[in-house]
Amino acid sequence: MTQEQSGGPLDDVVNPPAAYAAFLWQLLKARHSIDALANEAFQAKTLDPPMSPGDNDLGKAVFAFFAAAGRETRNEIAQSIRNNCAGAILQIAWTLFDAHLHALGIPEAERGSIAAGPILRGRPFSQILWAGRNGFAHGPEWQRPGGPIRSAGKLSVSILRAVGIEDPSRMESYSVFALLSDGSADIFIERLQATAKDVAEATPPSIGNEASLSSAMRILIGVIVVLAVYVISKKPQSDSDLDGTMLIQIGRGAEAVVVPLAKGKLPSTIQMPAILQDQAIKKLSPHAARPFVEVEARSHAWLAQAAALTATDVGSVRFYRDLLDMCDRMDELYTLLMALPDPLELLCRERGCNGNLEQMQAVLAELLEAHGGFTAVPYRQINVDILGNGN
């Protein structure tokens, strides 16, 4: 959904890298729970029935009967633990992934058909996760005559059958989790991360046609900067080999305007936002920079606390007390971080850019020069769309 389509605030602008970063942070916070549930699921194994006494000894037969009944009870409990723990993992994982899709602007009705992640038995990870979660949540509803009524249920059943689940209405959630994880929580997490990354990389950013300050800043800060490279000598082998011109694009198609910023050796697209942010913070007034300085100081303090924790005996009461305190402090730190304004936009406001492209170009070029390795270029506009097929 683009800003023009929604007519809403700038927060509605799709920012794939930022959405993926938020997904990774939420996954990190849920990782302990997923590991614990997976451990319980993997350990809850069923036992084979006890061997028959093999003779007519009545005493042995009685004990064999009770042993068999006991094992059957334990197996039922183990099966319940295994499937409910696995189902809980599917629910947690889908909740995180669904929030990621929402952040990327993907309509709810389309999320079950998203094809992303590793292919397992002919189906992508994303679809198996979606269908498996639906089976865990709605399996009993699917047992009615004729099967599921809703289209989502019917599609889920089709996906589950395609990957080898004969009766999805009575499926064991563990069988789906085992397929998605290959018996390893680490593999499951890696595949989930790769799936989220696939969707983020396949989702184009929403870019407004208006040459506004905020839209340009969001393009830059979200790693949606366009690195249009004019190679001078040879084909580059890596991002660090690129000598070219840093540009930004405003608008799309016939309305597109490209503005060169500076020439120099281009860093990777991953480094670029941090470089611009860091230099912008240094250029802010002391009052405006104070929240950023506080977050940085608190981050260093948290890392120091983490270093102290690694040196603490895990059997000590202090270890668990400090671990819980670190978790609380990280939540507070994350809240502070999310409340920070965009330093680039804040600097442009302090400089009085007011959405003027030429003034914005001067500020961004200044930041690149301050970082080093760049030389500002004179302001000019190029009417070309380098983000798409527009002319």
pLDDT per residue as tens digits for the range 275-328: 888 899 999 999 999 998 998 898 888 888 878 877 887 677 777 677 777 777
- The answer to which of 57-61, 65-69, 241-245, 251-255 has the lowest mean pLDDT is 241-245
d(CA 51, CA 258): 78
Q: Could you tell me what percentage of the chain is helix, strand and coil, using 3-state DSSP and rounding each to the nearest 5?
A: 65, 5, 30
Whose structure tokens read 């900067």? 225
Percent of the chain with pLDDT over 70: 77
pLDDT at 387: 63
Split at pLDDT 50, 70, 90, the class of 267 is low
User: For residues 94 and 287, what is the distance between their CA atoms, to the nearest angstrom?
Assistant: 42
Q: How confident is the model at residue 64 (pLDDT cuts 50, 70, 90)?
A: low
The residues facing 200 across adjacent strands are none
- Output the pLDDT for position 266: 65
What's the Cα-to-Cα distance from 273 to each of 84, 217, 225, 374, rounded to whole Å? 42, 10, 9, 15
Residue corresponding to tokens 């120099």:
264
pLDDT classification of 124: cutoffs 50, 70, 90: very high
Residue 123, Ramachandran bin (φ over 0: left; ψ between -120 and 50: alpha; else beta)? beta
What DSSP state is assigned to residue 74? H
Angle at the Cα of 316 from the Cα atoms of 311 and 319, rounded to 5 degrees: 55
What pairs with residue 232 in β-bridges?
A: none
In the chain, where the domains are located: 7-202, 213-376
Letter for the amino acid at 292?
Answer: F
**Edge-to-edge order in the sheet of strand 374-376:** 243-250, 257-265, 374-376
52 burial type by CB count under 10 A (0-12 exposed, 13-18 middle, 19+ buried): exposed
Instruction: Kindly state the average pLDDT of the residues 366-380.
Output: 87
Amino acid at 194: A
What sign does the dihedral 102-199-278-367 (CA atoms) show? negative
| Orientation of helix 125-142 relative to helix 185-202, angle to 10° | 110
Any idea what DSSP says for residue 46? -
What are residue 244's DSSP bridge partners? 264
Q: Which residues pair with 243 in a beta bridge?
A: 265
Residue 342's region, left for phi above 0, alpha for psi from -120 to 50, else beta, is: beta
**Does residue 107 sit in helix, strand or coil?**
coil
Q: Give the pLDDT confidence of 198-254 residue by residue, as tens digits.
A: 998 888 765 443 333 343 333 333 322 222 222 222 233 333 434 567 777 777 778
Residues 6+ apart with CB under 8 A from 305: 322, 325, 326, 329
CA angle, residues 229, 234, 240, in degrees to nearest 5: 60
346, 279 contact by CB (below 8 A): no
**Burial bucket for residue 354 (CB in 10 Å: 0-12, 13-18, 19+):** exposed
Separation of alpha carbons 210 and 249, rounded Å: 11
Residue 215 has a pLDDT of 38
Does the pLDDT of residue 372 top 90, yes or no?
Answer: no
